[in-house]
Structure 1
Amino acid sequence: MPGWLQAVLIAVAVVVVSWLVLIVLARRLPPGVAKDLAGFLPDCVTAMRTLRTDPRVPRRAKVALLIAVLWVLSPIDLIPEFLPVIGPLDDVIAVALLLRYAGRTVPRQVLLDAWPGDPYLLERLLGPARPTTTTD
């Protein structure tokens, strides 16, 4: 087996293991910030899968969500995935920023409906709701 293929397989295995650790932590930790952080990426993946097929989501928001998914799946990271707990931190930050960007163009209720986790966490991430303007 070529060396580059072994490196790719090892990188994929490390990412999968770190995701499994996050999923287990999200289910086992007591309620609090650590549990919210551990469940953040799995909740984002579920929400993004729902939002990409929703007709109420604008194309540019779907592109931002696609970039977030590609960032998470990419084996190239600012912080290596093999570092326990802090490895996925750059993924969390990138996804949070892209989700916040998408939150400016997607109706808030659509985001809340797609979010499987604690809605309070998503509300904190998105910030205060923008007032809707009506034209007569």
Structure 2
Amino acid sequence: MPGWAWTLVGVVGGLLLCWLALMAVLWRSRPDELRLRELLRLLPDVLRLVRRLAGDPSLARGVRVRLWLLLVYLALPIDLVPDFVPVLGYADDAVLVVLVLRSVVRHAGVDAVGRHWPGTADGLAALRRATRLSG
């Protein structure tokens, strides 16, 4: 087998291992059914929140880039975990949103999320419960 073929096999094998590791992490950190339902009800407000946070010039550039990448990922029809995979197919988007929001809170603070939240106070409380955000 030529050298480029071994390189291709190595790259494909590495990508497959990374994908399997991602699947294991998603399976381990998937939100329970109650949190998924809360997040699905809050989806329009969460999308507006992410868009508002991404456009806030007072936040660090790295935080805004993360949020824009999240919006692009959510808009693309291609997922890391296809939707036909039971449980994980739909949970990967919710888990990714939770992880990015936690990162935003770590770097920008809970006040930034509260300042840009477009929904009700009950909705913000549900988002904080679902994502385990402090405050």
Which bracket does the TM-score occupy, shorter chain normalised?
0.5 to 0.7
1:113 corresponds to which letter in structure 2?
Answer: R
- 1:69 equivalent in structure 2: 71
1:93 corresponds to which letter in structure 2?
Answer: V
Deviation at 1:90, TM superposition (A): 0.9
Alpha-carbon RMSD across the aligned residues, in angstroms, is 2.6
**Alignment partners' CA distance in 1, 2:44 and 2:82:** 19
Mark the runs of 5 or more structure 2 residues left unpaired by the alignment.
Answer: 1-33
- 1:127 equivalent in structure 2: 133
- 1:23 equivalent in structure 2: none
Higher RCO structure, 1 or 2 (CA under 8 Å, sep 6+)? 2
Cα pair distance change 1:51/1:41, threshold 3 Å: same
- 2:43 equivalent in structure 1: 41
CA contact (8 A) 2:81 2:89 kept: yes
* TM-score where L is the length of structure 1: 0.58
User: How many pairs are equivalent?
Assistant: 98
**Alignment partners' CA distance in 2, 1:52 and 1:126:** 21
Larger radius of gyration between Structure 1 and Structure 2: 2
Q: Which has the higher helix share?
A: 2
* Partner of residue 79 from structure 1, selected from 78, 81, 95: 81
**Alignment partners' CA distance in 1, 2:44 and 2:101:** 14
Cα pair distance change 1:38/1:94, threshold 3 Å: same
- 2:5 equivalent in structure 1: none
Percent same amino acid among aligned pairs?
Answer: 33
Which residues in structure 2 correspond to 1:1-136 (within 5 Å)?
33=35, 35-81=37-83, 87-117=89-119, 118-124=123-129, 125-129=131-135
**Alignment partners' CA distance in 2, 1:41 and 1:85:** 18
Deviation at 1:76, TM superposition (A): 2.0
